[in-house]
Structure 1
């Protein structure tokens, strides 16, 4: 077989797997490993069952836990982890498998990921005791992976920002920031000597173990914010591990819960949340204001889709009060890899008018955002750059 024929056959094979049984007449029926992959896809996405027999949409996997467990094992064998996570999320949504996730043997078969953790957290209050430890293990696995992904970058970015924010004008030689010193003294450049006379030295402040910033993370735990809740809990635990920060974590729906005392264990933090319910942002901000005792040295991060069920005017007034007092206020529509969800555009515009842009942030960009907030940089410019990067 020529190389061109082989490439054509491979394209046809891939299209057959993409299109499913409906393309069988023109592209044939796959066999062997391809046949098994096709059956796994058909069980989720075709109207027929895993054997290709016509049936209703719900007949693909049915309500049988053993059958679903076998299917979960099959997709882990035939597809890469990223694809498995997408198929699991689709199965939970399309085939209503949420109930089956309450069974320990089901949790042992799934591929742990952020979306699965969000689903488990939403089931937290109805989860039987027999399932709870299996669910904790799933959450523990995902949290450990997220910490490996974000912890080092977060600590480095925050520590660097704190050092830069502590610049002094008469630094010791070892503390001189030569890059900024040269830039600050370019007008004193002597061409004949090809050098700059540094009349003003710019340096870093000496490192200290004292708390330099207070950080309050205020997280909306309504159902649409599931992934943001997971990432926020892990970030809060990482920030809380830094002595130079005093970190508080507040989660809310129509009630407010302070999870600060659990930040040593992010798994406990996540199981302390309760996804779903209404939203009272004003009440959450009212509580958070009580935690802010040093406005000029405080960063308040609100993570919410801004659909306010409380008193909107009061919410905006409190944000204005905080900014006027010197608090660095950050509003994130989402903290996840998915970008901005549906959100209240009117409230976002009202916050922007107060000088507080509302935007979505990925976990990889969050450390840089915290650094910008610590250095009191223009967050509107930061948000615009981040939006351009994400759209590009």
Structure 2
């Protein structure tokens, strides 16, 4: 189908709805199809619906998602199609969009698309799944690039100004000492300080004995953002010296994913989102992994909505703390980094000796580095 550009009156009619038809005239056949496609998507906007008196005849139920994808590819130019597909996923959560191979191969990778892939990967045929895996890999690479820097900075050790270092890297640069040692090279006429020899300081290592880190990740459907960042966090921690990292996903069952920690893409593609939640069972599994509780940290990433025995959950957390293990309850964060969790249960876990917080992955790395000081 050749694309024709709607006239000015047709554009106003499409913007204002059927109420403007008497003033703007009827839409052409192609414009009606475009109007139906736009209504299928933006008719879901609740704020717009409250102020819009348009009929629902061309609303969301008029087209299936695959039909809508095919329609917009014949009705709109490429830049409009990409915007519609982005809004479908990011604004309205229409995850089925990402099961279309052409969309996956063209659309810009983003965390919202990654979430959609994790929700719908079980619906994908092998060809679509292969394209989805590439998208996952690209998004993970971007997250890991940022998070790995934060993790390594947190665990690189405290700065020791008493010792000089031959490691001439920015994080070891001693600005004050460099300034003091080179003041005699100040040029008053040029208003410049000429540095002959920059000073770098050494770092003292925080860790002398290995620590066991167990990440317990709630994989219920509402936890997708936390699952993504936990997988990348585990991969970042995996190669740090003096640490043994385990990653365990759970809903009503417990799955040890440690074998895939080094490959967060593979790990995420194995996660099965949805189902109930048995946090107590996961904590019990973590207890069985610890050979030296005094050198162990259990990080429970969850919204703390326990679907099994709340009493048993509190009892097991208390037993972990009493054994010498550090227990951090990491409250679930949504896509905007806002905490979403059962505050009553969180308070009960605090009373049992756990520490509960809502923090980003980078803040979690800093917390771990602080708690694991030898």
TM surpasses 0.5:
yes
Provide closer, same or farther for how the CA distance between residues 252 and 47 of structure 1 changes in structure 2, counting only shifts above 3 A. Answer: closer
Match of 1:156 among 153, 157, 161: 153
**Is the alpha carbon distance of 1:101 and 1:173 closer, same or farther for their aligned partners in structure 2, counting shifts above 3 Å?**
closer
Query: Residues 251 and 23 (structure 1 numbering): CA distance in 2 closer, same or farther, change over 3 Å?
Result: same
8 Å CA contact 2:43, 2:60 repeated in 1: no
Against the structure 1 CA distance between its residues 354 and 174, is the aligned structure 2 distance closer, same or farther, given a 3 Å change threshold?
A: farther
Match of 2:89 in 1: 88
1:104-115 correspondence to structure 2 within 5 Å: 104-115=101-112
Matches of 1:234 and 1:59, distance apart in 2:
38
1:261, distance to aligned residue in structure 2 (A): 1.0
Do 2:248 and 2:257's aligned partners in 1 also have CA atoms closer than 8 Å?
yes
C-alpha distance in 1, partners of 2:362/2:335?
Answer: 9
Query: For residues 270-293 of structure 1, what are the alpha-carbon distances to aligned partners after superposition, in whole Å with 9 as ceiling and x for unaligned?
Result: 012100011110111111112222
Residues 333 and 340 in structure 2, CA contact (< 8 A), matched pair in contact too: no
Q: 1:85 to 1:291 in 2, by over 3 A?
A: farther
Please show how residues 297-308 of structure 1 align to structure 2 within 5 Å. Answer: 297-308=295-306
Distance 1:132 1:206, change over 3 A: closer
What's the CA shift string for 1:203-254, capped at 9, x where partnerless? Answer: 975587x763221110000000011111111111111122331111000011
Aligned to 1:21: 16
- Name the CA shift for 1:111/1:323 in 2 (closer, same or farther; >3 Å): same
Displaced runs of 4 or more, over 6 A: 37-41, 72-76
Could you list the per-position Cα deviations for residues 60-107 of structure 1 after superposition, in whole angstroms to 9, with x for gaps in the alignment?
7x22637426748969836999x97555233434xxx52x53332232
Whole-Å separation in 1 of the counterparts to 2:78 and 2:361: 26
Contact kept in structure 2, 1:239 and 1:245, CA below 8 Å: yes
Q: Aligned to 2:358, what secondary structure does the other structure show?
A: strand
Whole-angstrom distance in 1 between the partners of 2:73 and 2:154:
39
Distance between the aligned counterparts of 2:77 and 2:226, measured in 1?
Answer: 27
Q: Paired residue for 1:57? A: 59
Aligned to 2:181: none
Which residue of structure 2 aligns with residue 359 of structure 1?
357
Alignment of 1:279 with 2:274, yes or no, is no
* Structure 2 CA distance for partners of 1:118 and 1:75, relative to 1, 3 Å: farther
Partner of 2:91, secondary structure, is helix
Counterpart position of 2:371: 373
Could you tell me which residue of structure 2 aligns to residue 127 of structure 1? 124
**Cα pair 2:234 2:245 within 8 Å, conserved:** yes
Query: TM-score with structure 2 length normalisation?
Result: 0.69
Give the match's secondary structure for 2:332.
strand
SS at match of 1:275: coil
Unaligned runs of 5+ in 1: 1-15, 30-36, 176-202, 377-392
Tell me how far apart the structure 1 counterparts of residues 304 and 73 of structure 2 sit (CA, whole Å).
36
Q: Identify the residue that residue 4 of structure 2 maps to in structure 1.
A: none
Counterparts of 2:263 and 2:251, CA distance in 1: 22
Task: Look up the SS of the partner of 1:225 in the other structure.
Answer: helix
Distance change in 2, residues 1:351/1:86 (3 Å)? farther
Q: TM-score, normalised by structure 1?
A: 0.66
Does residue 1:323 correspond to 2:321, yes or no? yes
Runs of 5+ unmatched residues, structure 2: 1-10, 25-33, 46-53, 166-201
C-alpha distance in structure 2 between counterparts of 1:140 and 1:75, whole Å? 28
How many Å separate the matches in 1 of 2:330 and 2:73? Answer: 34
Moved more, 129-138 or 288-297: 288-297
| Equivalent in the alignment of 1:225 | 223
Q: How does 1:212-291 map to 2 (within 5 A)?
A: 212-291=210-289
CA distance in 2, matches of 1:173, 1:106: 56
1:292 is the counterpart of 2:300 = no
Judged with a 3 Å threshold, the aligned counterparts in structure 2 of structure 1 residues 85 and 375 are, in CA distance, closer, same or farther, namely: farther
**Following TM superposition, by how much is the alpha carbon of 1:356 offset from its aligned partner in structure 2, in angstroms?**
2.6
* 2:141 alignment counterpart: 144
SS at match of 1:276: coil
The aligned counterpart of 1:102 is 99
3-state SS of the aligned residue for 2:93?
A: helix
Q: How does 1:9-48 map to 2 (within 5 A)?
A: 20-21=15-16, 43-46=40-43
C-alpha displacement of 1:42? 5.0
* Alpha-carbon contact 1:250-1:259 (below 8 Å) kept: yes
